[in-house]
Structure 1
Amino acid sequence: MRVETEPGKVLIARKNAVLRTGTSVIRADEITYDHTTRMAEARGNVRLVMGGLVGFAEHVTVDLRQRSLTAENASGGGAAFVQKENVTPEELGALETTEQLAKAGRNTFSFTTKGFRFQEDGAYVLEESSFTPCDCDVLKPSWRISTRGAELKPGESATLTVPAVHVYGVPVLLLPWLYLPLAERASGLLMPEITGSGLSGFQLDQPLFLTLGRSYDLTLAPGYAFGNDPADPTLGSLGVKGPRLSTEFRYAPAATIDGRMWLQLIYDLKPERDPIDPNVLAPGAQRRGPRSWGLWEHRQNLGNGFFGRADVKLYSDGFLFADTTNNSGFARSYYYVPSTATVYHRGQDDYAGLALAYRQDIRWGYPLFGDAPRPPVFQELPTLRYALPTVPLFGPVTGGVELELLPAVTAGRAAGGRGHGWGLLARAAGCGWHPGQRPPGSGRAPGPHPPGRDAARECHLRSGRRAAAHPLPGGAREHLPAGGGADDEPPRLRDGGRVPGHGAVEGVRRGSHRDPSQHQALGGAARGAARLRPARPPGL
């Protein structure tokens, strides 16, 4: 039944009562409304909708003149309210049950309180309350923030007075004041980052997040690393100490483009080390001064099956990688940090790509740019690659082909200068059925199977390489054998490093020598001899 209110009348509705005014709807077992005072009181299974705000209570009193509300649950505590998005007020007003309202749209935040006032600008001013800024269970959230007072601006921010963070009812953090952005993208201070490591000791950073439109954002994080001093001050040590600034720029201007650039600037207060040995101080060691490292990650869909990708990571000097990597033993056992860029076409039945790789030498503490007499580094220049995946050939036989055209040079200022050459690498793979023979690694005893057993599938890798020779400094030449190594051995580049994609840091275990000139004289011959071991014949 629909009843229009009149001045001087008090209306009482029972059994599935509904009160509507504008976009606000109250449903309850009983509703009383005084037209003169413009006050409404609802009792029993109360469901409240006010624009995008939904409430659940046992008793609610609404003063439309003062724009205030008081509410209680069945046990006398604060009632539960939740702010919705991705659903219109009209759609919310049409829902009748608690379950329907709880599941509608998306929850941006929820709170429990015994009373609040709603402002002209749409903000809510809460009394003592409990606040949860997430899409969580409305009635039983796993965590919450209790506060003595709060101002909530839907889609903008929440300002909390004396907040305490509770996880499963246990208080874990108490603050005098807290500001939380509620918008999908809002500028502001993030939580401080407190870390520690055996290299750089206690570290503190304070991030500041800045939105630069819908498709760009920037994070600035000034901080300080307090460092760890070595037991013997006359020796060098890993790690950094001093002020620093970390920056991260993220972008996604289109659905087909995204990436980020990250840069950290450090003013290192630790003493400078000998570039050959990080455990030895440089003569007349001064402070290490400004240092930096950064990365660039870019992904792009170029259309028509073409894609582009770049992964670049550079350090201002070779020792900085170990100074900022917690597992320093791991850090100092590798030679290179790779950077790669690729443009490729991926079809349904083939792959073609052009790749460029650069590897930074982190064995020594020389700067990235300069004329230091560092050993040569074997670099891969643009590599053309074409591959046909394994496809059915005839009967039970399948096969695939992969071709790579590899120009390569060694670069460095060591004696011997620079060498270059070209190599063609070809691989072919085939698989077939061999009745009566067990598959490798199946755990069965070797030998033929009894009659009637299903045929076992066995694959063989056939690898053929055209021999290529590349000049090395000092007259040594590096040879490519015409076969592969052990099956469990990762692919190797011609200088002993691992193929990109087999680890973020490339290289082989470090030798005992420390002198770069000695490395240049011995390294080429020693590694070349290791690569000339007889190759295992391909499977037939």
Structure 2
Amino acid sequence: MYRILALLFFMLNVSIPLSATMLDVEADTIKKSGDRIEADGNVVVTGTGTVLNADYVVYDIHTEDLWASGGCRLFEEKGEMTAQTMYYNARRLDAHLENGSVFVYAEPMKISGESITRYGQDYYVGENIEYTPCLDDPPAWSMASSSLEIPVEGYAQVWHTRLLVRHVPVLYLPYLLYPAKLQRQSGLLFPQIGHGSDYGYRYGVPVYLVLGRSADMTITPMNLTKRGLLTTAQFRYRLDYAQSGEIYLESLRDKKGGDEAEGCLLDTIAERRWYVKAKHTGGPLTWDINLVSNEDYFRDIGSFYGQDQYWKTSSTDEDESDREDLISRMEWYTSGNGFSLSVSGQWKQNLAVEGDDKTFQEIPKLKARMNQRGLPYTPIKYSSEVSTTRVYSIDWIEAIKNNAQAEVSLPMSVNPYFTLRPYVEESYRDTFITDRRDVYADDKYREHWQKRGVSLTTALYSPRSASGWYHQVAPSASWAYKSRIGGNYDSSDSADIFPDILSGDDWEKAFDMQLSLDNYIRDKSGKSILDFRIGRKYSYITKDWEDFQARVRFAPCSWLSAKHTNSFGRQPFRSYATQEHSSELKLSDERGDEIYLSEEYNRLDTKLVLAGIKIALIWNFSARFEAEHDYTKRRYDFSRQGLTYDSQCWSIDLYRETKPATELGPRETTIYLTVSLLGLGDVIHTSQRKRGDLDINAFENTGN
């Protein structure tokens, strides 16, 4: 009787726990014979982190082997497998698929083929394999191979590989060897082949070197058929979670050195070209170094560092070829116990004027600061700062400049109504001219200044609305008097001056009143939906008001943002007029449509408008158009029209750019085409350029 009940249990029970690996088997029909369990019909085998679905499964409890057929689907923590027939070992994690596929979640990556075998989790072998990172069906692009062998932490070998686009072959490689390792490995990267009108054809093979767990280097010798051998090197490193950096170098001995230059500042092409870029962020010592060999470096063939930014979103964005200067900075900074110390330097290379020696330098600059602190047992606050720097101006004036400043204040608050803060600030500065002494009448200049002032601030809040919104008003007023100890400048005395070398050196007597009013409309979380600020300064010396300074920002929802700044005041023969203003407006939606408008105006010399639109079309296509118009010069600075296709695993960007003729060159029109594949980067980059009546073709093929 007990034997009959046990047999019925194995025949009809839909869940059988197996002690070896704690697997559960569920099916319409289950039979057990010795160490084997045979399940038929809607079979589900469940283990820790593993689920197998199939029509028919045979499970060996002793060896932990599973044979499955009919609609097999195996789910693991990192991926899943599907096949017509499947073998799986729960202990070793071996697997063999017939007419199946493997999908890895993290990549994503899908491998399908007639036969796929996995030994453990570190060795794959396959026949008639197709690989793709695309999730759509059919895949936008894939790679098909007759056979595949991938030892993880070794080198994968692939035979007879074809690149397919929508299952249409477009490229064939008889053999491919690449590292299939979890750790980075030194070796050769994808070759770089290209063509440019200024440098001819270029051929290069990047050499990748692993220098440690957190450092690597890429060296790329490239032959430019018209210009010579160009060598680039990029060293990258990371010291810890916060500190990282890179060093990038370019060097070329130009075969065209001495030839006439077109569209450049210099008359001839330089014989040597080099570019240095070094950057380090995080930690007490940071730097950003940018140096080029001559003023025309970016106007000639340009740099091979990074990728071009095609589309602009603001009229203040700058093209690389339009750079007027190149700034390098370095700073060491430390702080503690309310004190801070920094040692910094700055170098500005002028790219707009011929003559490489016309640079601006602040090397070095030392600054020490005591942050504001309270005087014990009193409400008095005090702070101080001292600095010294060696200055080399763009006019070749060399000097040592020292500054010292101390402030004492007595803030008084009447909560929750207002805060009153009177203060006194003492400032000392001197300048010692060490070179070009003929520019000024004296070599040494010293001054002592004092500033006395008081500020009054408050904040008012409205009751919250039913939705939690409220209005915040923050008016403020300040008065300040600043003068030089011993008498202010005498305009009739030509010797009564102070060298104006740095920006901000032009101090003068001031007695001002500053009024401002800030308004905020905030939602229930405190986020500003709309804010408006307006302020104005009155001078008791000139007895006149300066221009109003106004700013409005509006961001009520995710699809709309706007900003406007304006400087306006009284003008002759009219009540009020704008001196300068700028505006930005952006509209977007979930489909990917965008409309953006940027405007910049200065009464003296600037009137720019940048407008752009992006429209999402069908099948992941989108169209873009943008243009910038200079109303002062009465011409378009540029216009771009583009068509983009963007999907999960590849993208195409086709656009046309037109720039007007200038004193440095004729009108220029360029058509670009870029094709990017997920995992391979930009595999095609083509361009056709037309300058005046000359057509220039260019082709680049780059892999990452």
TM-score after normalising by structure 1: 0.55
1:278-307 alpha-carbon deviations (Å, 9 max, x no partner):
56656xxxx844432211111242xxxxx3
Question: What residue in structure 2 maps to residue 340 of structure 1?
Answer: 329
Amino acid at match of 2:124: Y
8 Å contact kept, 2:214–2:237: yes
Distance in 2 between residues matched to 1:321 and 1:340, nearest whole Å = 20
1:422 corresponds to 2:402:
yes
1:35-70 alpha-carbon deviations (Å, 9 max, x no partner):
9xx997422342348998852224336899xx9944
Distance in 1 between residues matched to 2:130 and 2:167, nearest whole Å = 11
Q: Does the C-alpha gap of structure 1 residues 212 and 330 become closer, same or farther in structure 2, counting only changes over 3 Å? A: closer
Query: Would you tell me which structure has more strand in proportion to its own residues?
Result: 2
Q: Does the C-alpha gap of structure 1 residues 380 and 82 become closer, same or farther in structure 2, counting only changes over 3 Å? A: same
Distance in 2 between residues matched to 1:25 and 1:434, nearest whole Å = 62
Distance in 2 between residues matched to 1:380 and 1:463, nearest whole Å = 33
Q: Considering Cα pairs closer than 8 Å and 6+ residues apart, tell me whether 1 or 2 has the greater RCO.
A: 1
Pairwise CA distance, 1:115: 0.7
1:214 corresponds to 2:208:
no
Amino acid at match of 1:244: L
Amino acid at match of 1:314: L
Pairwise CA distance, 1:247: 0.8
8 Å contact kept, 1:352–1:387: no
1:240-282 alpha-carbon deviations (Å, 9 max, x no partner):
x22211111111243343211111121211132699x956656
SS of 2:229's partner is: strand
Question: What residue in structure 1 maps to residue 392 of structure 2?
Answer: 410
Gaps of 5+ in 1: 73-78, 84-101, 228-240, 302-306, 368-373, 390-398, 437-452, 491-540
Amino acid at match of 1:341: M
Distance in 2 between residues matched to 1:433 and 1:199, nearest whole Å = 62
Q: Does the C-alpha gap of structure 1 residues 222 and 49 become closer, same or farther in structure 2, counting only changes over 3 Å? A: same
1:315 corresponds to 2:292:
yes
Amino acid at match of 1:309: T
Distance in 2 between residues matched to 1:323 and 1:465, nearest whole Å = 50
1:470 corresponds to 2:447:
no
Question: What residue in structure 2 maps to residue 293 of structure 1?
Answer: 275
1:379-424 alpha-carbon deviations (Å, 9 max, x no partner):
35314275979xxxxxxxxx99996735342269x9x873333356
Amino acid at match of 1:294: V
1:143-193 alpha-carbon deviations (Å, 9 max, x no partner):
532222221223444332333344665656543433343334222332334
2:347 to 358, 361, 380: 358
Amino acid at match of 1:254: D
Amino acid at match of 1:175: L
Distance in 1 between residues matched to 2:471 and 2:45, nearest whole Å = 74
Amino acid at match of 1:311: D
Question: What residue in structure 2 maps to residue 28 of structure 1?
Answer: 54
Distance in 1 between residues matched to 2:36 and 2:480, nearest whole Å = 92
8 Å contact kept, 2:218–2:234: yes
Distance in 1 between residues matched to 2:194 and 2:282, nearest whole Å = 34
Q: Does the C-alpha gap of structure 1 residues 5 and 280 become closer, same or farther in structure 2, counting only changes over 3 Å? A: same
Distance in 1 between residues matched to 2:172 and 2:382, nearest whole Å = 63
8 Å contact kept, 2:264–2:300: no
Query: Would you tell me which structure has more helix in proportion to its own residues?
Result: 1
Distance in 1 between residues matched to 2:164 and 2:339, nearest whole Å = 55
1:506-536 alpha-carbon deviations (Å, 9 max, x no partner):
xxxxxxxxxxxxxxxxxxxxxxxxxxxxxxx
Q: Does the C-alpha gap of structure 1 residues 220 and 454 become closer, same or farther in structure 2, counting only changes over 3 Å? A: closer
Q: CA RMSD in A?
A: 5.5
SS of 1:148's partner is: strand
SS of 2:254's partner is: strand
8 Å contact kept, 1:223–1:245: yes
Pairwise CA distance, 1:112: 0.7
Q: Does the C-alpha gap of structure 1 residues 250 and 434 become closer, same or farther in structure 2, counting only changes over 3 Å? A: closer
1:43 corresponds to 2:69:
yes
Q: Does the C-alpha gap of structure 1 residues 17 and 155 become closer, same or farther in structure 2, counting only changes over 3 Å? A: farther
Distance in 2 between residues matched to 1:194 and 1:402, nearest whole Å = 59
Pairwise CA distance, 1:31: 2.0
8 Å contact kept, 2:36–2:59: yes
Q: Does the C-alpha gap of structure 1 residues 462 and 215 become closer, same or farther in structure 2, counting only changes over 3 Å? A: farther
8 Å contact kept, 1:421–1:469: no
8 Å contact kept, 1:318–1:362: yes
Question: What residue in structure 2 maps to residue 71 of structure 1?
Answer: 98
1:252 to 238, 241, 244: 238
8 Å contact kept, 1:421–1:470: no
Distance in 2 between residues matched to 1:408 and 1:462, nearest whole Å = 34
